[in-house]
Homo-oligomer: A and B are copies of this chain.
Amino acid sequence: MNCNCCSVHSSDQICMHKVPIFSSLSPEEMSHISSIIKHKNYQKGELLFSEGDSPRSLIIINEGSVKAFKVTPEGREQILHIFSEGDFFGEQNLFGSQKSPYTAEALAPTGICSFAKEDFYQILHAHPGIAIKIIETLGERIARMEDTMQSIGVRNLDSRISGLLLDFADKYGKVVPEGILIQLPVSREGMANYLGIARETISRKLGQLEAEGLIHSVNNKNILLKNREAMNTLAGKDC
């Protein structure tokens, strides 16, 4: 399992280089750390861990995507995050011996790298630079969640949906001549569960947006964003 050279083709190296938190390390440090990484693959629908588990490892996504969700008392899924290539999560699993606050499920065939809790503590003590990178990244995540919380305060549902589409456009969009083609990581139901609304409402609202000429629903997995400017205005992001 241990790679005895620094081959750039090692899948360990792939993980390391995709994640900014390791960018401050020297090549020797990287190769030491990559020797303690574990790998695993998941199929679509498979659970990485469940709410309440104590998996005690930090997970970095190498390929694919993962949704993190809680189940509400009424039995609905509330999606909290959608992680994809290069994202890491599970830091709550490492520290404070807390239980995982959410369930993590693969949205597509997904490959991950993970560190055990003990190893990670060692690394942090030896390389304060990594800790700072992690703090920065967590700070960014908090800022993004604060954005989400604000958008929830926006009563206008249209704004929230536009905001979600814009987020997806940044993360999963490809620029094409007609606009931005968004490859949706989740179904309509997933979007509804992300926004905390009913499936049917998403359908209706997307229908409206299409009627207004802002988007074109290519199929259930792809949406073409035709007018980003108008979308920004709707989302209230240009004030």
Q: State the A residues within 8 Å of B (CB).
A: 70, 72-74, 76, 78, 80, 91-92, 94-96, 98, 101-102, 121, 124-125, 128-129, 131-132, 134-136, 138-143, 145-150, 152-156, 159, 193, 196, 236, 239
Q: Which residues of B contact A196 (CB under 8 A)?
A: 152-155
Binding site secondary structure of chain A: helix
Q: Cα distance A134–B96 when bound, in Å?
A: 11
Q: Cα distance A32–B98 when bound, in Å?
A: 32
- Asked whether, in the complex, the Cβ of A72 is within 8 Å of the Cβ of B139, the reply is no
Known: A141-B142, A145-B145. A153 touches B193 (CB 8 A): yes
Known: A132-B124, A149-B148. A143 touches B92 (CB 8 A): yes
Q: Can you list 20 A-B pairs with a CB-CB distance of less than 8 A?
A: A70-B153, A72-B236, A73-B154, A73-B239, A74-B156, A76-B153, A78-B153, A91-B139, A92-B142, A92-B143, A95-B136, A98-B140, A121-B132, A125-B132, A128-B128, A138-B139, A141-B142, A142-B142, A145-B146, A148-B149
Known: A131-B132, A146-B102. A72 touches B138 (CB 8 A): no
Task: Say which residue of B80, B132, B135, B147 sits within 8 Å of A138 (CB atoms).
Answer: B135
Task: Say which residue of B96, B146, B153 sits within 8 Å of A101 (CB atoms).
Answer: B146
Q: Cα distance A143–B239 when bound, in Å?
A: 30
Q: Which residues of B contact A95 (CB under 8 A)?
A: 132, 135-136, 139
Q: Which residues of B contact A134 (CB under 8 A)?
A: 135
Q: Which residues of B contact A73 (CB under 8 A)?
A: 154, 159, 236, 239
Q: Which residues of B contact A70 (CB under 8 A)?
A: 146, 150, 153
Known: A132-B121, A138-B139, A146-B101. A154 touches B96 (CB 8 A): no
Q: Which residues of B contact A159 (CB under 8 A)?
A: 73
